[in-house]
Chains A and B, each alone.
Chain A
Amino acid sequence: MKAALRLWAALARGASGAAWEAYFAEAPEGEALALLRLSLGQRPKAGGKAGDLRAAAQRAANLPDWLWTEAEAFAGSLGEAAALCLPLPAPEAALPKLSALLAALDQGVGPEGFWPLLPPEGRRVVNALWLGRFRWAPDFGPLLAGLSAAKACPAPVLAARLARACGKNAAPLSAALWAKGADVARPAEPVVPAWVGPLEALGARGDWVVDWAPEAPQVLAVHPEGPVLWGPGGALGAPPEAARWAAGLPPGSVILGAAKARGVQVLDLRAWAGEAWQARPLAERRAFLATALKPPLGLSPGLSGDWAALTQSPAPFPSARLLLRALALPDQAWLWAPPSLAPPPLTALLLYIERGASGPERLSFGLARGNDFAPLVSLPAPSDPAAKALLRALAAEAVARFGPVQQVPPRLCGEIAHEGLVPAPRRKLGYQLLNPRLLRLFPDPELSALTPLADLVAGRQSP
C-alpha cells in the first residue's frame, strides 16, 4: 500500500503522468489492479455505522468523549479524526496490502484491525471506504498514459479493456488488462481533447470542420477488444449502442465523431484498420470517410463559404453553442468558436473573491436582480500582474468573509464571453452561462454598465 499512498500524495501535489508511471512500474500486479478497481469507482460496499467507528476509534485513542468531540469538530469529519487521533504505527509495522484491505472490507471486516498498521493517510482511505465516503475520480488521461508507459501497452487498448470492466456486468480486472498479444492491433492513439480559447486566428477554412453536436461523446475507437468512447477530459465508457456504431468499422480504427440518436456524425479519421491517417490532409481523410462509412455512421456536413461570409452571417450555425474543431492543427486541440460567432460579451459585477494559497483564485460575478445582485458565474482569476494588484487591493477591503470566499465592494466589472445561456433553476439567478471566460476586468461602478438580465434572456430566446 506504500506505493498507493505515495501516488495519492504525489497527485495531491499536482503530479500526473510521471507519478502514475512510477506507481505502475513499482506496484505489484495485485496492488495495481486493486488501485485500478478504486479508480473505476468499484468500492467495497460500505459496511459500518458512524457511531461504531467513533466508538472504536475513541477506545483505540483512549480519549474522553468531550476531547474526541473537540478533535472531530476541528478535523471536520469523523473519518479524518479517526485517522489522526490514533498513535502512529510503529516503525517496524508492515503496511497492509491495498488488495488485502479491500478484500477485508468486502467481507464486512471493520477498519480497526488496520489502524495500528497504517499512517494517517492510509487510515483516511480505509475509514472513508468503511463509511461509504470514499471519493476518488482520477483523470483517466494521465492514468492511461502512465499505465501504458509502465506496461508497454497502447493506451487505446487499455482504454478499451478498462471500459469492459465498467458497469454492472463488468469482467473482473486481471493482469490481462495490460497483456500484449498478436491479436492486439495498435491504432493511432486518440488524443484526449483539451479546451482552449478564445480563438484569435482561424487559419485556413479548410482546416476546420463543424461539430454540430458538441456535447455528445466525441471519439470512437474500435479495437479487437471492443469499442470505447472517449469524451472531453478523458471520460471513458462503452455504452451498448457503441457496438452497433462500431459494427461498420474494422478493428484498429479511430474516428472522431459526435454520437447522436440515430448514429454517429463522423468528423474525422485518425486511424483505419490499424493504419494511421492523421498525417494526411483533412480533405483526403474526409474524402475517404465519405466512401468508407456505412450507416449508422455518416460524414458530418462540411463547412461551406469563406470565413468572412460565415462571420457576417451566422445562418449556417444552429446556435451560439457551436464549436469548431481545428483538426489540422498539430496539437489536435479543440477551439471555441470565434467571438464573432458567439453571443456578445456581457458585463457583470465582481461580487466575491476566493483566495487560494497564492492570492485570488476564483472570481464570482453577478448581475442585478431586483434590488440585489445574484451570482451568475465563477471564473478563474486572471494571472497578469495588473489584475492581481487590483484584486489584492480589493481583497484587503473585503466587506464579508466566508472562509476563503470574500465579498468585495462593487467596484470592478468583468467582461465575460460565453457561448449561450441555459436555464438553471438551482442557481440564484436562474440561469447558467455556457463556457464562460473572463476577457478583462475594468473599474466601472455604474449600474448602467451592467448587462441587464432581461437582455441576456432575450438574447437567448432570439433565433
Chain B
Amino acid sequence: MTKAPLLIPTPAGIYCPAGDFYIDPARAVDRAVITHAHADHARRGMRGYLATRGTAVALAARLGKVSVQVLGFEEGLRIGGVTLSFHPSGHLPGAAQVRVEGPGGVWVVTGDYKTEDDGLAEAYAPVPCDVFLSECTFGLPLFHWPQAAEVAAEMVEWWAQSGGAVPVLAAYSLGKAQRLLHMLHGRGPGPILAHPVIAEMTDRLRAAGYPLPPLSAWPGGAAPKGALLLAPPGARAAAWGESLGASHWADASGWNAVLRKGRTGGFVLSDHADWPGLCGAVATSGAGAVHLMHGFTESFARYLSETGRNAAPWPEEKRGGW
C-alpha cells in the first residue's frame, strides 16, 4: 500500500493533511508554519502562526499584533498525526527549515537557505529526510558565490574610495541589512548609519539576542563624512534618498554575479544557496525524492534526475501549477 504524502501542494501553499497546517501559505489559513519573515513567505491574515523566536520578532515588526507560537530550533511539536521541528536554514536570523515526521516518513521543507555560515544567522544544518522540498532560486551552474570575506573587503574599499559622495548600500531591511552590518562594522573610515526601517528591525533582532552592533537611524539629509548608509532599495527614489545629496548606491545580491542581470557596480552577496550549495544540500539530505521550488526548478530537477536523483518541480500557484 502506498503511503499518503505528508505534504501536498494546494492553492494556499504546502499543506500537511495529517497535521492540518500550511507551510508559508499564500492565502489566509488557520494554522501557518512560517520558515522566515520575508514578505513572500510570511503574509498577513493567518489565524495563528508558528515560528522560531527570531522569526517571531521579525513578524511582530512586519505584521504588527499577530498570534505567534514560538518553537525553538530542534524542539519537536506534536500536531495531529505528525511531529514538527525547526532546523536552521542560515537564510537570515531565525530562518528555519521545517521537518515533518509522520506515517509518510520524514519530509523537510527548506524555505530559503544558504549553506555558508555568515556568523549572524543560525548556521544551516543538514537534516536527513526521505523527501526534500528545496528552494532553487539560483539553480543554474552559473552561480558560485565568492567568499563573503572577499566581498566585505571589496565593500570596504568602495566605501573608503567614495570621495565626496556618501556611499549607500541597498539591502532588504530584514536579513541582508543586518548581515552587511555584521560584516562591515568597524572596518570602514566612518560609522554605519541606516534608514529608520532598517535601524528599527536591527534593534529588535539585537534585543532578541543576535550579535549586532548598535546602529543609528539616519533620518535623511547630508550624512557625516566617512559614513556608510544602509537603506532598503526603495528608499533611493523616495524623499529619503533624494535628501542625501550626492550619493553612490550599490546593492548586494546574487544576481550581480551575472553581468547582464546584475546592476552595474553591485556586489555579489546572496542569502540563498549557490549551485554547489544546492547540490550539496540535496546530497547531504539523503532524500529518496526531491522537489524543487522557486527559481530554476525545471532545470535543476532535470539535472538531479540525470545524476541519479528522483527529482521533480513542486507545483506552485504562481508558476501555473494550479
Contacts and interface: CB of A to CB of B under 8 A. Distances in A.
A124 B259 CA distance: 10
Contacts of A9: 154
Contacts of A66: 302
A88 B237 CA distance: 36
A67 B305 CA distance: 13
A70 B250 CA distance: 28
A64 B307 CA distance: 10
A318 interface: no
B147 A10 contact: no
A84 B144 contact: yes
B237 A85 contact: no
B119 interface: no
Interface residues of B, number: 34
B146 interface: yes
A13 B250 contact: yes
A85 B241 contact: no
A67 B261 CA distance: 18
Given A63-B141, A75-B260, A84-B142, A10 B157 contact: yes
Contacts of B248: 13-14
A388 to B, nearest CB: 7
A10 B158 contact: yes
Nearest to B306: A64
A358 B237 contact: yes
Contacts of A80: 258-260
A88 B2 CA distance: 44
Contacts of A84: 141-144, 257-258
Interface stretch (A15-23, A131-139, A425-433): A15-23
Contacts of B259: 75-76, 80, 124
Contacts of B265: 12-14
A4 B197 CA distance: 38
* Residue from B142, B157, B264, B276 having most chain A Cβ neighbours under 10 A: B142
A182 B161 CA distance: 35
B163 interface: yes
Contact of B258 (A6, A63, A76): A76
B258 A15 contact: no
Nearest to B154: A9
A67 B141 contact: yes
A260 interface: no
Given A64-B306, A74-B142, A388 B237 contact: yes
A71 B141 contact: yes
A13 B237 contact: no
Contacts of B10: none
A61 B141 contact: yes
A74 B142 CA distance: 9
A385 interface: yes
Contact of B257 (A10, A22, A86, A120): A120
A409 B65 CA distance: 42
A71 B142 contact: yes
A119 interface: yes
Contacts of A19: 161
B299 interface: yes
Interface string B243-287: 000001111000001111101110000000000100000000000
A201 interface: no
Nearest to B264: A12
B236 interface: yes
Nearest to B248: A14
A70 B154 contact: no
B237 A75 contact: no
Question: What band does the interface of chain A fall in when counting residues whose beta carbon is under 8 Å from B?
Answer: 35 or more
Nearest to B251: A357
A71 B237 contact: no
B242 interface: yes
A66 B157 CA distance: 40
A416 B141 CA distance: 48
Contacts of A22: 161
B18 interface: no
A392 B143 contact: no
Nearest to B237: A359
Contacts of B250: 13
A120 B262 CA distance: 14
Nearest to B274: A88
Interface in A1-49: 6, 9-10, 12-15, 18-19, 22
Contacts of A15: 158, 161
B146 A88 contact: yes
B140 interface: yes
Given A13-B265, A75-B260, A84-B258, A385 B242 contact: yes
B303 interface: yes
B59 to A, nearest CB: 30
A67 B299 contact: yes
B144 A75 contact: no
B257 A13 contact: no
Interface string B158-172: 100101000000000
B161 A70 contact: no
Nearest to A358: B236
Nearest to A119: B146
A81 interface: yes
A67 B306 CA distance: 11
A77 B147 CA distance: 25
Nearest to B276: A87
Contacts of A359: 236-237
A240 interface: no
B237 A70 contact: no
A91 interface: yes
Contacts of A63: 141
Contacts of A88: 144, 146
Contacts of B276: 87
Interface in B285-316: 299, 302-303, 306
Interface of B: 140-144, 146-147, 154, 157-158, 161, 163, 236-237, 239, 241-242, 248-251, 257-261, 263-265, 276, 299, 302-303, 306
In order of increasing CB-CB distance, the 7 nearest A-B pairs are: A13-B265, A76-B260, A84-B142, A359-B237, A358-B236, A85-B141, A12-B265
Given A10-B161, A84-B258, A119-B146, 6 more contacts: A12-B264, A64-B303, A64-B306, A66-B302, A70-B140, A86-B144
24 contacts: A6-B154, A10-B158, A13-B250, A15-B161, A18-B161, A22-B161, A64-B306, A67-B140, A67-B303, A70-B140, A70-B299, A74-B140, A74-B142, A74-B261, A76-B258, A84-B142, A84-B143, A84-B144, A85-B142, A87-B144, A88-B144, A120-B144, A124-B259, A388-B242
